[in-house]
Amino acid sequence: MKKQNSEEKKSKKIEETLIQVGLRIAKRGEGALFVVGDVKYKPLVKQSVPPFEIIKNPKLLESLALMDGAVIIDKAGIMIAYGVMIKSTRTFKNFGTRHSAGLSAAKGDNLVVLVSEEDKKIRILKNGKMIMQIDALQKNVEESVPYAVELLESIGAGTIGA
């Protein structure tokens, strides 16, 4: 039981890190795409930054996320690739290529955190659908991140709009 608890804590910390980094990116009016899990991708840039634990280096994660393409993170919270293209197999109606790639990557138990530069919202996708949306411009939004992570953990694959 202890092992699962430490895995849950790690998972929460990964989600919290991605949301916090996403908020900083969204507030500047920039976009990003983070995929936690296993997905097919093609690098757009030479991978010169070695894998690292995202929880320990959110600033580096943020700068890599600002490049074109997605950031791929394994379930242990290790950044394994950045500036990569994910082949879109689905379309996210009324949104662009980043959203379609995010929706395509949100299969199985993959977690996708998508930062929209257009509307400054963070969308969290899982099991092929959006399960949460956070408005980066909402007053004191950073204070609600731990609650959002708790909600994410409690609903698992459920659907909710926040």
Kindly tell me if the per-residue pLDDT of 96 is higher than 90: no
Mean pLDDT of the chain: 86
The model's pLDDT over 101-152, given as tens digits with 9 standing for 90+, comes to 898 999 988 999 999 998 999 999 988 888 888 888 888 787 777 667 777 6
Cα angle 61-28-60, degrees, rounded to a multiple of 5: 15
Which residues have C-beta within 8 Å of that of residue 148, sequence separation ≥ 6? Answer: 19, 132, 134, 162
**Strands annotated E in the chain:** 32-36, 42-43, 52-53, 70-73, 78-85, 111-115, 121-126, 129-135
What band does 1 get if pLDDT is binned at 50, 70 and 90?
very low
Query: Rounded CA gap, 69 and 145, in Å?
Result: 25
Is pLDDT larger for residue 92 or for residue 82? Answer: 82
pLDDT digits (tens, 9 = 90+) for 84-95: 999 887 777 777
Task: Tell me what pLDDT residue 3 has.
Answer: 55
What local confidence, expressed as pLDDT, does residue 154 receive? 65
